[in-house]
Amino acid sequence: MTTASPELAAEWAERMNPLPGHAVRAAVSTGLAEQLDTWTTLTSIHRAIDADPTAVRVLVEYLESLGLVEREGGTKLRLTPAGRLMLVSDPYGFAQHWHTNSFAHRIEAAFAQLEESVRTGTPCYELAHRTNLYRDLRPDSGHLAEAFSSAKSLTQHSARRLAEWIDIPEGSTITELGCGVGQYLCAVLSARPSLTGVGVDLPAVVAHAESDWATQDDVQGRIRGMACDIFEDVPTGADLYLLCNVLVDLPEQRATALLGRVARADDEVRLVVVELASDLAPPALVTHMNLHQFAMTGGRLRSSGELRAIGELAGFACVDETALGGGILALSLLSS
């Protein structure tokens, strides 16, 4: 049997994922995209275009995952700057923007390097774009809004559960490392008005997060950002550190080294780790996420046992744990 040529393999890859193009086409031709030109809701959209409510929700959520729709307060929706290009009558303008600027397309383009990545173990994203995925998020390109647009809606439930579970004295300070838009930190601060928070991330991400926090009345004045490379330096002085969905981006040595750095940040360190755990999440999601993480950052999902084990290797003892729902695990660790 002869194997397929690289050209044919590339064509297969293209055909296997025709969904983004069809989703954009459906959004434009049904008038759904036009409805999203200003803030609106799912109910207003399906009434205005006389469409099936479930299909409208599914399509809008898919466009959100492509970074074409953004959400505020859980229900208000509108097009992102990239999504607004769907309204431009020249479809090539949209295609050109999609191919040159959109973050979702940079991810798609990175997958073209999978063969080389499988051979060398270097993440596809680095092979394709010569930089780390997070350092590639450019503040002026809409990438940040695109990358973090779905974070809040996807983690709403688990963030609330975390806020109920976390045991911390009144008046404490929580520092979230690699916070993104800090939806877990915000949920805890929102539930506990005496707490203050520090969100640590790369400079462009912190600037984006701070503008987001400024619109949230329930945390305003109690949360601030700190630009810092957590692989170089972990800020001291937190009563509790939070590390949510950061280990999944990292291969073994880097994950253990980061946890070790956190364990040594102070004399006694309390750390809560939140991660999608491979033994709790649905198997199909685990398979998908593992390839996605390998290709994008070189990381992978870990089981509850593996997460506890790397914590222990880095100098922590696991004192408590809980499932937050949706396959997400929270571990409470104490430096020993």
Binding to ligand SAM (CB under 6 A) within 243-272 occurs at 244-246, 249
Give the nearer residue to ligand SAM in terms of CB position, either 195 or 328. Answer: 328
| Shortest Cβ 286–ligand SAM spacing (Å) | 16
Helical pair 183-191 and 151-165, crossing angle rounded to 10 deg = 40
- Residue 295 in contact with ligand SAM, rule: CB under 6 A: no
Give the nearer residue to ligand SAM in terms of CB position, either 60 or 258. Answer: 258
With vertex at residue 282, the alpha carbon angle to CA 278 and CA 283, rounded to the nearest 5 degrees, is: 70
Binding to ligand SAM (CB under 6 A) within 216-245 occurs at 229-231, 244-245
* The two three-digit tokens of residue 293, written as one number: 């993480």
Give the nearer residue to ligand SAM in terms of CB position, either 109 or 202. Answer: 202
Give the nearer residue to ligand SAM in terms of CB position, either 202 or 207. Answer: 202
Measure the CA–CA gap between 125 and 106, rounded to whole angstroms.
Answer: 8
One-character DSSP codes across 255-271: HHHHHHHHHTSSSS-EE
Binding to ligand SAM (CB under 6 A) within 96-135 occurs at 134
With a CB cutoff of 8 Å and minimum separation 6, the contacts of 258 are 230, 231, 243, 246, 247, 250
Task: Number of residues interacting with ligand SAM: please give it, by CB under 6 A.
Answer: 16
Measure the CA–CA gap between 71 and 57, rounded to whole angstroms.
Answer: 13
Helix (H, G, I), strand (E, B) or coil at 322: strand
Binding to ligand SAM (CB under 6 A) within 130-149 occurs at 134
| Shortest Cβ 202–ligand SAM spacing (Å) | 5
**Of 265, 251, 271, 266, whose CA–CA distance to 311 is shortest?**
271
Give the nearer residue to ligand SAM in terms of CB position, either 33 or 289. Answer: 289
Binding site residues, ligand SAM, CB under 6 A: 134, 151, 178-180, 184, 201-202, 205, 229-231, 244-246, 249
